[in-house]
Amino acid sequence: MSKTSLTIGIVAETAKNETRVAVAPQDLSRFAGLAKDVQILVEKGAGKGAQFTDKMYADAGAKLSTTKQAWAADVVLKINMPEAKEVANLKKGALVISLTQGANADKVFKAVEKQGAGILSLERIPRTSRAQAMDVLSSQANIAGYRAVLEATQHYGRFMPLMMTAAGSAKPARVAVLGAGVAGLQAIATAKRLGAVVEAYDVRPEVAEQIQSLGAKFMDLGIEEEGAGEGGYAKELSAEGKKKQQQALQDKLATFDIVITTAQIPGRPAPVLVTEATVKNMRPGSVIVDLAAATGGNCPLTVADKVTVKHDVILVGHTNYPGFLPADASAFFGRNLFNLLKIMVVEDKLNLNYEDDILNAAVLVADGKARKN
């Protein structure tokens, strides 16, 4: 009987309202091919939220396991940052791969160090062409942008497209998308497919061409301050720039029926784009879908994980849009993880080569020691 060369654990998510799982059953064969004699341990019930049954995983070749067994693998795959009590099940030399944003990050990192294990932060994967296939933030943001528009249609009391009937006609909805990153561009494309008239704004003027290529109009607020940051992300505007931006949007957004905000700055609270004065200025029944609700919101009136009405405007503050489409979101996430593991498994063993820019940036703790990267 051959000895297992690599064990991979797929564990259940414990975060509130999380329906996804790190790997979908149809993709297990990809992981099994990473090395000789790979054993994949799936925690029982891990795929329930995404409607993946234990039988589906077992039929795909996984070994159904207890929580402790799955966490005792060489590599543990997870979506959200683990809890310190979960990390206590890690074996020495193991590696957890997950997102790592959260209030308890320092506590979790110390718990990983105590176990003599390691953790790779998916947020820290650089935004380069080579790393694109491993970028879970982009794959999940794509889903979020799509689902945000569908959420808007659920709360907006009118048609999205131009409708002409024997009883009369209805004008198409006017949709504003603030922020033209991955989520924003997908929101633009989805709103256009549904027949809306779309305009979009971003502090990075270089994205105007991308916005226009999707059939939307670039919203020029005349701020005269660029917000392009490192790695393709936006940077925070100056205090004067923020004030000009907010004032310009206050006047502009009064003409829109739906506003989808996607602006975020890595490691910082979300910038306020839609002030309370702006909300007061909008038409009754208008909808704001705030994709930055988890980091404070682009509108200060947004309440995380709730749909509220303020000044006769509907504010949607869901924080996990990919969780509304868990099967596809899980499949995308898992394929990103597979592409990452492909550069980490060498000659049937896990090999953390820090000369690789991706691993050097993303591995925060290895073999019980915090890394300076």
**What does the pLDDT read at residue 228?**
52
Lowest mean pLDDT among 215-229, 299-313, 354-368: 215-229
**What does the pLDDT read at residue 70?**
98
* Mean per-residue pLDDT, 265-285: 92
3-state secondary structure of 235: coil
Residue 2: pLDDT band by 50, 70, 90 thresholds? very low
* Mean per-residue pLDDT, 30-59: 97
Question: How far apart, in whole angstroms, are the C-alpha atoms of residue 151 and residue 156?
Answer: 9
Q: What is the pLDDT of residues 283-318, one digit of tens each?
A: 999 999 999 999 999 999 999 999 999 999 999 999
The position carrying tokens 């290529």 is: 213
Residue 227: pLDDT band by 50, 70, 90 thresholds? low
In sequence order, which residues have a C-beta less than 8 Å from that of residue 160 and are 6 or more positions away? 153, 172, 173, 191, 194, 195, 196
Q: What is the pLDDT of residues 163-181, one digit of tens each?
A: 888 888 889 999 999 999 9
Question: How far apart, in whole angstroms, are the C-alpha atoms of residue 216 and residue 237?
Answer: 24
**What does the pLDDT read at residue 283?**
95
pLDDT of residue 232 exceeding 60: no
The position carrying tokens 């607020």 is: 221
Q: What is the pLDDT of residues 64-75, one digit of tens each?
A: 999 999 999 999
**What does the pLDDT read at residue 291?**
98
Query: Hey, which residues are catalytic here?
Result: 127, 132, 135, 138, 233
pTM of structure: 0.91
**What does the pLDDT read at residue 234?**
58
H helices of the chain, in order, are: 28-32, 54-59, 67-71, 84-87, 105-114, 136-155, 182-193, 208-213, 239-252, 276-281, 326-342, 357-362
Query: CB of 265 within 8 A of CB of 161?
Result: no
**Pairing mode, strands 363-366 and 118-121:** antiparallel
**What does the pLDDT read at residue 217?**
97
Q: Render the burial of 124-149: b for 16+ CB within 10 Å, e for the rest.
A: bbbeeeebeebbbbbbbbbbbbbbbb
Q: What is the pLDDT of residues 324-351, one digit of tens each?
A: 999 999 999 999 999 999 999 998 899 9
**What does the pLDDT read at residue 1?**
36
Query: CB of 65 within 8 A of CB of 44?
Result: yes
Residue 251: pLDDT band by 50, 70, 90 thresholds? confident
**What does the pLDDT read at residue 345?**
95
Mean pLDDT across the chain? 93
Q: What is the pLDDT of residues 74-131, one digit of tens each?
A: 999 999 999 999 999 999 999 999 999 877 899 999 999 999 999 999 999 998 999 9
Residue 267: pLDDT band by 50, 70, 90 thresholds? confident
